[in-house]
Amino acid sequence: MAETSVNNGVNVGALLAAREALKNAPEAAKFTWRASCKWQDGTFSRTKVQGFHGLGEEQKHKAEFSFDADHPEIFASEDRGITPVEYVLIGLASCLTAGVAAVAQNRGIQLRSVEAKVEGSMDIQGILGIDSDVRNGYDDIKVTFKIDADASKKDIEALVAQSQKRSAVYDIVTNPTSVSVQVV
Amino acid sequence: MAETSVNNGVNVGALLAAREALKNAPEAAKFTWRASCKWQDGTFSRTKVQGFHGLGEEQKHKAEFSFDADHPEIFASEDRGITPVEYVLIGLASCLTAGVAAVAQNRGIQLRSVEAKVEGSMDIQGILGIDSDVRNGYDDIKVTFKIDADASKKDIEALVAQSQKRSAVYDIVTNPTSVSVQVV
């Protein structure tokens, strides 16, 4: 458990209490996350996020968040937002980083700074349909953490490993996830 | 090829020219996309996106884009941004939507509106470590398109199917993608 002097801003007590409560109410652990995308023009779209479902009822973020996506000028587009594939990197980086903070709190390790650089390599011969043996998505993603904390290198590496083990986005990217697409 | 009267804002001619050019210069098709995340406090992080590599040299978006991620209040956090798993839904929705516009342009179909609603279901017993048989990520993601276009239902369904076939994020989510994590 956390030493009382350590404060990474994560309420581990509340999370452990939630874990106990959900053990007895597994239906409440079923969440649905949502996003609603509207095409604007060309490859430019705007996606809004606010409502979700969990703990047995409708929930919402304090505000509606809006995200623009587009293709860059070198793809003959207008770069009115980042690309869809970069949104995946944001999800991965932020998920692993939040995990590092939560695990550090639980292990009594004070963090001073955490930076994660994420790089995804992609051969665009896939999406352009030049070579059907080339996949559309990333060949490979590399995450590099630089962490300053009151802990040994070994303990810091263990923090990151535990964050990976519990990361939703790491799981979504590294393992197959079923996606069904329909038109109404 | 596109009828001249159709304009979805996608420069298909330039994309087809790029495809021809890259057939003869496969090294230029190797892209690297990047994101740089800094932990702020608790589960709150900020990720910046600007530079990337492609066409044999360093590239950058017209501006630096910044994205906040956090956990909601019901997870004992402060909801200073959307969750990491919602960023994945934005990537998926915007990738499929851009694809619909590009394929429609190429097929000479005028779009009037395109909306994609994305829902991902997740049992948080996984990330909380309650049940090791429950995965951390989404069990299942549903994408529902509502498209108004000068085309039959069948042709619209074919647009969406072709967009899936060429979508980078659809591939990343539905198939395993290698992620390596290191601490420096």
Task: Please report residues of A whose CB lies closer than 8 A to that of B18.
Answer: 75-76, 128
Is A2's pLDDT higher than 50?
Answer: no
Distance CA A127, CA A125 (A): 6
**pTM over the 0.90 mark:** yes
Taking 90 as the threshold, does the pLDDT of residue A143 lie above it? yes
Q: CA quadruple A121, A126, A128, A130: dihedral positive or negative?
A: positive
Per CB-CB distance under 8 Å, the chain A contacts of B145 are: 181-184
Reported confidence tier of residue A4, pLDDT bands at 50, 70, 90:
low
Mutate which of B48, B136, B139, B160 to test chain A, going by most A C-beta atoms within 10 A? Answer: B136
CA B86 → CA A2, A15, B138, distances in Å? 29, 20, 11
- What chain A residue is nearest to B8 in terms of C-alpha separation? A42
pLDDT (0 to 100) of residue A15: 86
CB B168 within 8 Å of CB A137: yes
Measure B103 CA to nearest chain A CA, in Å: 11
Percent of the residues in chain B that have a pLDDT greater than 90, as a whole number: 88
> What residue has token string 């430019």?
A44
Nearest to B111 by CA among B163, B145, B151: B151
Q: Do A141 and B178 touch (CB under 8 A)?
A: yes
| Model pLDDT for residues A123-140, shown as the tens digit of each residue | 999 999 899 899 999 999
Model confidence at B3: pLDDT above 90? no
pLDDT at A111 over 50: yes
What is the ipTM score, two decimals? 0.96
| Closest alpha carbon to A135 in B171, B179, B18, B164 | B171
Q: In terms of Cα–Cα distance, which of A21, A46, A6, A111 is closest to B183?
A: A111
Whether A145 contacts A116, CB under 8 Å = yes
Residue B133 DSSP class = T
Could you tell me which residues are beta bridge partners of residue B48? B36, B66
Q: Are the Cβ atoms of A183 and B44 closer than 8 angstroms?
A: no
Distance from CA of B6 to the nearest CA of A (A): 12
pLDDT in tens, A15-27: 888 889 899 999 9
B150's CB contacts (< 8 A; 6+ apart) are: B109, B110, B112
Choose the closest CB to A94 out of B31, B47, B180: B47
CA distances for A2 relative to A7, A16, A152, A174, angstroms: 9, 12, 17, 31
Q: Are strands A140-149 and B178-183 parallel, antiparallel or unpaired?
A: parallel
With beta carbons less than 8 A apart as the criterion, state whether A31 and A56 touch.
no
Percent of residues, chain A, with pLDDT higher than 70: 98
Residue of A74, A97, A157 lying closest to B54 (CB–CB): A74
